[in-house]
Amino acid sequence: MITNEDEARDWLRGLPECDDAAMARLGLLVEMLAQENQRQNLVSAASLDQVWKRHIVDSAQLLPHVPRETTLPWMDLGTGAGFPGLVIAALRPECEVIMVESRNRRIEWLDCARIEMGLERARIVGSRLELVESQPCSVISARAFAPLDKLLALSSRFSTSDTIWLLPKGRSASQELDDLRNWRHVFHVEQSLTDPQAGIIVGKLAGGKGKTA
């Protein structure tokens, strides 16, 4: 278990994706986030003191659940301050990472951070998710975006039967799975990949799109 910022950075350096350039991109993100947080409330002040552990590692821990050969796009829903989308893009800059965000100031921040970090293949889609054109994605992630049933209803149209859904839910993970209603029989949690400690729900939708709620 990671207890402090040094351990968080050490954990990151252990990832196969985390070379010096990736670490530099993440360092830049942390610096820019601290500055921008004085202008707009991107993350809580308390979590900014532990930004490597609470946000960077919390985002990066999704990567080991995606086989390296997976052909992306990776779509991140409600990216907000950049989590997990910007962290994934910093660690896999060769991949197309699509970040969907609806709030104007956050869209501006995400685009500015993307440019400063040199993430040419990452894309910010500044729109409500409901209005985004459908396209199949290999990975769909969402942190603190919506309860599971609503999240699946909003975004199943981006899923195929191979799409890996990565949903960091923390302590509410098992409760959210218990509360699944409309999607209970089509959303399959890949038990072998479920990490109860981190509270990440890893799953697939049977037949791609499930039942519309």
For residues 46 and 69, which CB has a smaller minimum distance to ligand SAM in the complex?
46
Cβ-based neighbours of 20, under 8 Å, separated by 6 or more: none
User: Shortest approach of ligand SAM to residue 58 CB, angstroms?
Assistant: 8
Tokens 């910093």 label which residue? 90
For residues 4 and 44, which CB has a smaller minimum distance to ligand SAM in the complex?
44
Q: Is 145 in the site for ligand SAM (CB under 6 A)?
A: yes
Q: Of the candidates 60, 122, 129, 201, which one interacts with ligand SAM according to CB under 6 A? A: 129
Please choose, out of 102-110, 116-124, 175-183, 191-199, the segment that lies near ligand SAM by the rule CB under 6 A: 102-110
35, two tokens = 């500055």
Q: What's the start-to-end Cα distance of the chain, in Å?
A: 38
54 labeled binding residue: no
Rg (CA), the chain: 16
Q: Is 114 in the site for ligand SAM (CB under 6 A)?
A: no
- Tell me the C-alpha distance between 69 and 187, whole Å: 23
User: What are the strands of the beta sheet with 74-77, ordered from one edge?
Assistant: 122-126, 97-101, 74-77, 139-142, 164-168, 200-205, 187-189
105, two tokens = 């100031």
Q: Of the candidates 115, 144, 206, 213, which one interacts with ligand SAM according to CB under 6 A? A: 144
User: Shortest approach of ligand SAM to residue 174 CB, angstroms?
Assistant: 19
- Tell me the C-alpha distance between 154 and 174, whole Å: 21
User: Shortest approach of ligand SAM to residue 103 CB, angstroms?
Assistant: 4
Q: Of the candidates 26, 101, 140, 159, which one interacts with ligand SAM according to CB under 6 A? A: 101
The residues that touch ligand SAM, with contacts defined as CB under 6 A, are 78-81, 83, 100-103, 106, 128-130, 143-145
* Feature table: binding site for S-adenosyl-L-methionine: 78, 83, 129-130, 143
